[in-house]
Amino acid sequence: MDLIDLEDETIDAEVMNSLAVTMDDFRWALSQSNPSALRETVVEVPQVTWEDIGGLEDVKRELQELVQYPVEHPDKFLKFGMTPSKGVLFYGPPGCGKTLLAKAIANECQANFISIKGPELLTMWFGESEANVREIFDKARQAAPCVLFFDELDSIAKARGGNIGDGGGAADRVINQILTEMDGMSTKKNVFIIGATNRPDIIDPAILRPGRLDQLIYIPLPDEKSRVAILKANLRKSPVAKDVDLEFLAKMTNGFSGADLTEICQRACKLAIRESIESEIRRDRERQTNPSAMEVEEDDPVPEIRRDHFEEAMRFARRSVSDNDIRKYEMFAQTLQQSRGFGSFRFPSGNQGGAGPSQGSGGGTGGSVYTEDNDDDLYG
């Protein structure tokens, strides 16, 4: 079709009759539109990718299985009769990449991302905190497919009954509302909930039951290999001198979190930027006093980040997580692992008279996994 000259006073009728709105036009309009209920909430597909996160390969793989596989391979879940998980809880020391992981998985799935800090939902007015919770979940449904991320979940999901002096039980009402909304997500399989906390020991157990945030993932401090990956991820867009030994730097930063390592890299970059700017200022002053020097081509005085920049940055480096805190997280993770699962469970060898557990038989042992009495306790 010939191009239409919009400056003409008339347009040929044949051209007008050939115009039609196609499905591609609707798809484009849909991508540019935002539901009215979401206009006061920041809803976006994050730009964070897996490359921005160094290490944590096991966690990345588990997140892909939990969030990405149901989106990309729904036929497999239908084939095996599995309902995708609705939520996951990240726990571990601060500064280890919990928020980045949530953004990266949303980006991988091309899903919208809504990030809420727990204290933002709390107000002094009666009933308003619960209304805020309802509104956030409504917006997540409107923005589906969506990853709803609750940072500092422990501030709004503490174990109920222990809030002494709490005015009218406001904290308990908030957690009850969160549980109600999570249970109501059963018909919406394209909203995935991620919670993050530095205090997993005070989270209400009800929020961790099956059908809610039933997948718990420990985000530990990075090991040496992961620290190398984090340093490289932070510096992948920066010019770094070849004699800078990132492996040695990673070896000397045992116990540092990802945020601590990022601070070292940023400080080294700042030192290089400062030196570069000061060199340019001195050069401009020399040119003003000696105009003939302008004709001489000079090399960049600070073309890259050098070893001395990192050495100076390391003078200010410090750990944000103590050894005592690390032991607490590791003990919690170990206790959780021991309390969930049967360790060396094996089916009995040979044919025991049936392919599955007997239903309604009273002759089983008291420790059987398949007792009807445990169903309500498991999913209550």
Ranked by mean pLDDT, which of 11-20, 92-101, 265-274 comes out on top? Answer: 265-274
Average pLDDT score, the chain = 80
Q: Which residues are paired to 90 by β-bridges?
A: 196, 217
The CA distance from 336 to 314, in Å, is 36
CA 56 to CA 62: how far, in whole Å? Answer: 10
Predicted pLDDT at 372: 39
pLDDT score at 308: 93
With 60 as the cut, is the pLDDT of residue 150 above it?
yes
The per-residue pLDDT for 187 is 47
What pLDDT score does 167 carry? 52
Q: Looking at the predicted structure, is the pLDDT value of residue 91 above 70?
A: yes
CATH 3.40.50.300 domain span(s) along the chain: 43-218
Token pair in block for residue 272: 């290089």
- pLDDT of 200 strictly over 70: yes
Instruction: Out of 172-176, 217-221, 356-360, pick the least confident.
Output: 356-360
Q: Average pLDDT in the 82-98 region?
A: 88
Tell me the pLDDT tens digit for each residue of 42-89: 667 788 888 888 888 888 899 888 888 888 888 898 898 888 888 899
Residue 139 tokens, joined: 């917006």
Distance CA 19, CA 305 (A): 57
Domain covering 224-287+303-323 assigned CATH 2.60.40.1730 in the classification:
no
Secondary-structure class of domain 43-218 per CATH: alpha beta
Q: How far is CA 6 from the centre of its chain?
A: 48
Domain span(s) for CATH 1.10.8.60 in the chain: 224-287+303-323
Looking at per-residue confidence, does 294 or 285 come out higher?
A: 285
**Eight-state DSSP code of residue 221:** P
Distances (CA, A) of 309 to 67, 98, 157, 277: 41, 29, 43, 15
Q: What mean pLDDT comes out for the span 238-249?
A: 92
Residues 6+ apart with CB under 8 A from 128: none
66 vs 9: CA distance, rounded Å = 58
Closest Cα partner for 354 from 374, 370, 366? 370
